């Protein structure tokens, strides 16, 4: 992990960031927005369950095959569906009922997760099933996430997007903070497959929350788009690649994700195999990033009111190469946990303004397709990064993977510095 007043379109002049007093009512109005609060609560609980599976799945793979290459392959295979389905998912999200898409995806993911403990306790669980489940989970996540990203601007005002994304990130990181260490403890007590039942229940909660939201997930249709499925898909790609700011965000995220996915693919291997951490210790270490994400989420709204989104992105990107480099230089659990806290904060301070800019700039009728195109560009390197990280770790150790990742993230800093991103302003209009 692991990639949004509108930012000014090419040719427009930047306007100053709105003063804090005018922005003050945002938090109150969001909390009074029943539909947003319902989405917020349902997705927070769903993420809690997902954190347990994200810990338990690679742990289970290592139970069957103690190889860094196998863990890297799991990471790569789980992201391959993006290369095939990301763009079609965007067209479908713009043309079909976004709520229905998200509901179907949640039901499917719940059943897929539940198949693992069922197969395990029946004595039929294999690596093949784990890889298939990981790939199919990602497939349904593609469709869910595209609908999720596209629906938020219809539940809140554009000027509230940074605050809304911050609140969603706040409870998401809180779920990670509690989910990862709890997952380590539960795996030690009840086995990895047994803990995945919790994730199944969390998908049920998500389904209920989506059903009870009253506002539509799409803006009223202004015009009926003509053209074939492929022509509509191409329109989303052309918008992304033709918009200097959106293109720069996508390319920079792709470079960053190549490095970050390599790091994430071998973190559990580094902790369990090279450093001999227990399941509980590994869970606590992985949860450290959530601490940083939680803390950053508490202040992201204030930062957004004082610092233009583009500058936030640049400053957060500058910090990114430091963290894999630091992981390579220590094997001490408390030190690694401290690094994880800082890394989690930096990632949050990068992701939220990036997402908020995209959501504010892209028109609603293109939001699904453009978001899908962005994800394909930004995430296409994740399978390569995960597999490469595993191969490097298998041959030279996880530390070599971290050094390579730091070098790649340094390239991302240079690219963003010369791109239109640092000049992007903060939304002012509703």
CB atoms within 10 A of CB 128: 8
Q: Which of 270, 257, 255, 268 is nearest to 396 (CA)?
A: 270
- Consecutive 10-residue averages of pLDDT for the chain (430 residues): 33 33 48 82 82 84 79 76 76 78 92 92 88 90 80 75 75 68 78 86 90 78 58 80 88 89 86 84 80 80 76 90 90 90 88 82 77 77 83 89 93 90 66
One-character DSSP codes across 245-262: HHHHHHHHHHHHHHHHHH
> 389: which 2 tokens?
């990280």
CB atoms within 10 A of CB 335: 13
pLDDT at 107: 94
pLDDT at 321: 93
CATH number given to 26-216+231-423 = 1.20.1250.20
Domain ranges (residues) in the chain: 26-216+231-423
pLDDT at 338: 92
> 84: which 2 tokens?
């095939």
What is the Cα 337 distance to its own chain's centre?
21
pLDDT at 25: 43
Q: Which of 67, 72, 50 is nearest to 137 (CA)?
A: 50
CB atoms within 10 A of CB 429: 11
d(CA 261, CA 387) in angstroms, rounded, equals 9
39 and 149 Cβ atoms separated by less than 8 Å: no
* pTM for this predicted structure: 0.62
> 65: which 2 tokens?
């095959």
pLDDT at 405: 93
Q: Which of 69, 59, 66 is nearest to 278 (CA)?
A: 59
> 53: which 2 tokens?
């599976």
d(CA 204, CA 45) in angstroms, rounded, equals 10
d(CA 221, CA 101) in angstroms, rounded, equals 18
- Name the region of 428 (left: φ>0; alpha: ψ -120 to 50; beta: rest): alpha
């Amino acid at each position: 992990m692991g990639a949004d007043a509108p930012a000014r379109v090419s040719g427009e002049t930047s306007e100053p960031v709105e003063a804090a007093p005018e922005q003050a009512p945002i938090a109150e109005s969001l909390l009074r927005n029943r539909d947003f609060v319902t989405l917020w609560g349902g997705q927070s609980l769903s993420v809690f369950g997902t954190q347990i599976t994200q810990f338990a799945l690679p742990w289970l793979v290592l139970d069957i095959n103690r190889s860094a290459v196998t863990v890297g392959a799991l990471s790569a295979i789980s992201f391959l569906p993006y290369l095939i389905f990301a763009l079609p998912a965007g067209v479908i999200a713009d043309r079909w009922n976004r709520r229905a898409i998200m509901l179907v995806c949640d039901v499917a993911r719940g059943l897929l997760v539940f198949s693992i403990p069922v197969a395990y306790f029946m004595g039929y669980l294999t690596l093949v099933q784990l890889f298939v489940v990981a790939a199919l989970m990602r497939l349904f996540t593609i469709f869910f996430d595209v609908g999720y990203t596209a629906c938020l601007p219809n539940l809140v005002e554009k000027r509230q997007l940074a605050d809304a994304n911050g609140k969603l990130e706040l409870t998401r990181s809180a779920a990670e903070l509690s989910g990862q260490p709890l997952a380590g403890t539960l795996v030690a007590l009840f086995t990895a497959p047994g803990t995945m039942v919790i994730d199944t229940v969390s998908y049920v909660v998500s389904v209920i929350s989506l059903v009870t939201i009253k506002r539509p997930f799409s803006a009223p249709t202004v015009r009926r788009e003509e053209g074939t499925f492929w022509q509509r898909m191409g329109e989303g790609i052309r918008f992304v690649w033709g918009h200097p700011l959106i293109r720069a965000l996508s390319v920079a995220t792709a470079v960053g994700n190549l490095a970050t996915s390599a790091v994430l693919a071998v973190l559990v291997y580094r902790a369990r195999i090279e450093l001999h951490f227990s399941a509980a210790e590994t869970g606590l270490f992985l949860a450290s990033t959530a601490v940083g994400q939680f803390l950053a989420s508490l202040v992201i709204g204030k930062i957004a009111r004082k610092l233009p989104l583009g500058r936030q992105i640049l400053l957060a990107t500058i910090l990114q190469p430091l963290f894999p480099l630091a992981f390579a230089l220590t094997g001490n659990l408390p030190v690694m946990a401290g690094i994880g806290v800082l890394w989690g904060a930096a990632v949050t301070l990068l992701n939220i303004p990036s997402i908020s800019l995209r959501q504010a700039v892209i028109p609603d009728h293109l939001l699904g397709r453009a978001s899908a195109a962005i994800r394909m560009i930004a995430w296409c390197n994740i399978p390569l990064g995960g597999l490469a990280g595993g191969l490097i770790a298998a041959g030279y150790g996880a530390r070599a993977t971290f050094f390579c990742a730091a070098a790649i993230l340094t390239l991302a800093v240079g690219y963003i510095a010369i791109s239109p991103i640092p000049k992007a302003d903060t939304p002012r209009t509703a």
